[in-house]
Every structure is written in structure tokens, then in C-alpha cells.
Amino acid sequence: MYSRAQQNSIIFVPIIAGSLSSISSVALIASILRSKVKLHRAVRRIIFGFCTYDVVYSIALNLATFVAPKGEALYAIGNIGTCDAQGFFIYVGYLGSILYNVSLAMYYLCTIRFSLSERTFRERIEPFCHLISIVSSLAIAIFLLAKKSFNLDGRERFCYISATPKECLYNDDIQCERGSKMSLSYALWFSIIPFATVFIIILLSMFTIIIATVVRQKESSDRWCISKGSDDSDDSDYESCLMKVLTWCFGKKEQTGSSNHEARTDNPDIDISKAPNRPLIEKLDQKYQPKSLPTSSKNEILRTLPTTSKNERIHSLVASDAKQVRITQVSSGNHVSSLRSSGRSNASDPHAFDLKKMRASKVVVKKELTEEDSRKLAKSINSVHDGYDEELQILRTSQAIAKPKIAPSRSGTQEDPFKFDLKVVRQSIRRESLVTRLNEEITPKQGTSLRTLHRSTKKKASRPKKSIEERASLQCLLYISTFIFCYIVPVIQQFVMYNKEDQPIFALALIGVTTIPLQGFLMALVYTGPYVRSIKDSHPEYSWFKRFVEVIKSGGDQD
């Protein structure tokens, strides 16, 4: 029999843990609903269902012995109806939460091990996860409620599957007032066996995910390794040998020739023409020598040189094409012949060009222009002249022309790629504003020491980059670890004390009633962990609680 202080500890410690868990689950639900993705992903819907059942379980557990029939337990002020209600909601929350843990493990198992897509999991597997979790918990709880099996448990902690008085479960001579002698069997079938099944499935999923991740990492590393003794490497060995031969014949000999040329300056007895494979190199050079230089007719620049005379206009057209360099007169219908030889330097090099000589040449319009023609000509020349003087305008115009017309990434549809959706655009603006605000806060605030910034930057740089599969595997293992941590002690206690009237060891009982309600709190830590760590890298001066609050407010995560 526990002392009064031990009984108080067993009653009030779960209330503290359950309150923390319920607050964390409510915050996680609010974070999911406030986020941009909301419930559009399967993992979010599963975690949302778990948090809902965890809130029900934690609130019902926080009532402790206060709702038990008066006189049956310490601080009991309730009646049979309140005890039935507490037992009903505790069982629904308990079974629903552990079944959603299985659903979460199945989600990661299907996506990591079997590489199922989000759509395939959503259409084929996820409906059964929600159906089994919701229907089974409600159906069994209603059955137990009809059998009057929700009573104060044998350890006087809360109302659960039991009978009144508890001595009737172990003594055939004592009749049960509420419930029946089958209450122990009900507890075994509907509480212990489902939990054991869930526990085994989760453990198998964890080991399968670990093995799959390790095997894929091994395959990806072996993909880049070359096995020298394998038959598959014959082609690669042949190619490498061929490359070595070609490099020795063509690349190495040029270096040898240059070195021989340097040596020949010191020693005149060495002749480079006597190098090995020299005839082959000369033959290849003659065979693959380009016949003509590449030309281009683009990138023409019109330069206008204004003169003092009203009827004279000097135009020079400087072309990058080496074949045609001409100066053309711009007038209303009258053209002069092209001056081809004014820009040529000599006949031996047809590609030579003297820009200074070309600009010095002039072409004078001999015909008198009318006043209207002069006005049009001046307007066209000035517009071209002004346009080419403003280089920024040219740059912007070219960028606008070269910019491809693509449909908005989040507004268009497959039928109409350029459809404008105001709601989607607003969501994108909110998301971009959040990212901008976080990026602006990267600048160290006043009070942040340089040592702290240097330590955080060095830690971030030294941290190895993980793939998406590795991050998902780590997240799944953390979820499973929280489940095992919360239920391992109660499982040990249940198997040790099953079918025994004696109360368990106080330490085991206290740890068991403390860890089970903490699952919602630990789930919230795991769910928001990646985003909290990312904020820590950019804001090392923030405390953990402040980072956690920022994540809940923004609804951000990295699932």
C-alpha cells in the first residue's frame, strides 16, 4: 500500500505531464491549420489525427481520481456517470493515438522502403489508416461502456477497464457490483494485445527503414566506385587506355615539342622535326585545319555623326562581318554606292579593318531635301541616336525581349497556363513575406557577440548535408523513439503485474504515469525540430522557447 505522499505523487504528476502534452498537441494542431500546406499532405493528416486523440486522452487523464465515485479513492468527488465518461474518453484517446502511431510508421515505411508516391499512399492506404483508428477505438469503447467495464482501476489512479469491487476479479466468492469477472480478459484483449501488436509493427517498421536506408546508401556509394576485377569495367578500362594513348600522342607531344624548343635554344644539336609521330601530327593538322574564319552579320551599331550643314547627313555603319564593311547614305529615296575599299588596310589580309579610317570618310548628299523630308529624317536620326546613347534603355529592352513568357507557377492551370488566381497569388505573397522577414532577421542584432555568430556559422558549415531520404528516415526514427520511450515502462509494469493483486513498485508506477501523457509534447518537439534547428542557425541569440513559438506562429515545418 502506498503512503499518502506517494499517492499524491501518482495523482498530481500525471496532471502536470498531461497538461503539458495537451497544450503541445493543441499548439501543433493550430500550427498545422495556420500553415500554407494545411492538411494537404498525408503526414500532416496523420499527425493531426494523433494530436486530436492525444488531446482527448490528456484531458481525460488530467481529471485523475476527481471524477471517481465519492468514497472510492483519494479526492474522489464524482459518480458512476463521470467515471464512465472518463474511462470512455481515456480508452478512445489511448487506442486512437497508438493506432495513429502505426499509421505514421506505415507512411514512412511505404515512402522510404517501397518508394510509394504521396498520391498512391493517399488513395490506397491512408483511408484504411483513418478508418481503423477511428472506428475501432469508438466501437470497442462503446462495447465496454455497454458492459459497464469502466470503473476505478485497481491502482486507484483513474477510471479504466476494471470491476467494482476490485477484489471480485481475484476472488471467486466475491460478486462484482459493476462490471464482471471478464474485465481482466477485456483488458487483455482490448488493451494489452492491441498495444503489443502495435509495438511489434512499429519495431519492425523501424528496423526495415534502417536497413533500407543503409542499403540505399551503400548502393549509391558503390555506383561511383570502379571495380577493377569485374567484367563490367572492361569498356571503361578500354576507354581509359584509349584516352591515355590519344593524350600521349597529341597532348603530351605538344608539351614535349615546347620543351624541346626550349632545349633547342640552349642546345642547337636537338631538332624538333625528329620527334616521334611528328608526320602523323602534321597530317592531322592539315586535314582538320579550318578553311575560313567564322563570320557574323549581327551586332551592327549605327552611329550618327551630325554636321553643321542642314542638308548633309553623315552615317557610318560599322559591321562585325569582316566580309562587308560599307558606309550607306540615309536619305529619302537616294542611295550612294558603297565604299568598300575605305575600310580595308591591305589586300593581303582581307579581314583587316581600320575603324579610324572608316570614321574619317564622309558621304555627302548631293540632292537638296525638302523641308518635310528633312524633318522626318532628323526625327528618325535623333530617335536612333538617342536610343543608342542610353545603354541602360537598350539593356532593359533586350532583357524584356529575351525574357520567356512562362505561366505563373502557382496561378496557372493545365487548361489555361496564364490564368490568374488571386487567392493563390495572395498565399504566395504571404509565403514570400515570411521568407523575407526571416532572411532580414539573419543580420545579427545588437547584443549578439561575434563569438556566438562565429560558433554558429562554423557549426553550420561543418554539418554534413543530408539527403531527403536520410532526413525522412531520421524523422521517422524520432517518432518511433518517442512512442517507445513513453510506453516501454508501462509495458514492463503491465507484464510483471498482470493477474496480480499487489501494487507495483512505486518507482515504476510513477515513471509509467509520467511518460505516457508526455507523448504529445514529445511529438510536437519532433515535428517542429527541423524548422527550430534551421532558425537556430540564423538566430543563435534566440532561446529554444522563442524559436518554438515562432515555428508555431508561422505554421512552418520541414516534413
Q: With contact defined as beta carbons under 8 Å apart, do 160 and 186 qualify?
A: no
Are 307 and 282 in the same domain? no
Range of the domain at 44: 4-220+463-554
Per-run averaged pLDDT (10 residues), the chain, 559 residues: 82 90 92 86 93 94 90 88 94 94 91 86 93 95 92 84 85 84 87 89 86 73 52 48 49 42 43 51 55 44 42 41 39 41 51 58 50 64 49 54 47 55 65 58 47 51 59 84 87 68 74 88 89 82 86 69
Q: In this structure, is residue 442 part of a structural domain?
A: no
DSSP labels, 138-186: HHHHHHHHHTT-EEE-TTSSSEEE--BSGGGGT-TTSPPSBS-TTHHHH
Mark whether 203 and 72 lie in a shared domain. yes
**What is residue 278's predicted lDDT score, i.e. its pLDDT?**
55
Is 481 found in the same domain as 396? no
Q: Residue 482 sits in a domain of what CATH number?
A: 1.20.1070.10
Residue 474 maps to a domain: yes
Q: Are residues 129 and 31 in the same domain?
A: yes
* Residues 330 and 468 occupy one common structural domain: no
Count up the domains in the chain and report the number. 3
Residue 533 lies in a domain: yes
Residues 135 and 202 in one domain: yes
Q: Judge if 306 and 281 occupy the same domain.
A: no
In a domain, 421, yes or no: no
**Pair (396, 538) in one structural domain:** no
Is there a domain that residue 436 lies in?
Answer: no
Q: Is residue 437 part of a domain?
A: no
How distant is the alpha carbon of residue 517 from its chain centre?
A: 31
Tell if the pTM clears 0.75, that is, is over it.
no
In a domain, 97, yes or no: yes
Compute the distance between CA of residue 494 and CA of residue 512 in angstroms, rounded to an integer.
10
Q: Are residues 28 and 112 in the same domain?
A: yes
pLDDT at 130: 95
Q: In this predicted structure, what is the pLDDT of residue 408?
A: 45
* Residues 353, 340 contacting (CB under 8 angstroms): no
Name the burial class of residue 151, with classes exposed (0-12), middle (13-18) and buried (19+) by CB atoms within 10 angstroms of its CB.
Answer: buried
- Of the candidates 5, 62, 150, 54, the residue with the CA atom closest to the CA atom of residue 513: 62
Give the pLDDT of residue 388.
45
Query: What three-state secondary structure class fits 80?
Result: helix
Q: Record the cell numbers describing residue 444, joined without a space.
A: 545579427
CA–CA distance, 508 with 515 (Å, rounded to integer): 11
The single residue listed with the C-alpha cell 578500362 is: 237
Q: Is 70 within a domain?
A: yes
Name the domain boundary from 361, 385, 402. 402
Same domain flag for 283 and 305: no
Q: Can you read off the three cell numbers belonging to residue 438? A: 526571416
- Of 230, 265, 287, the last residue of a domain is 287
Q: Which of 349, 380, 402 is the last residue of a domain?
A: 402
114 and 260 in a common domain:
no
Instruction: Specify whether 271 is located in the same domain as 367.
Output: no
Q: What is the per-residue pLDDT for 253?
A: 41
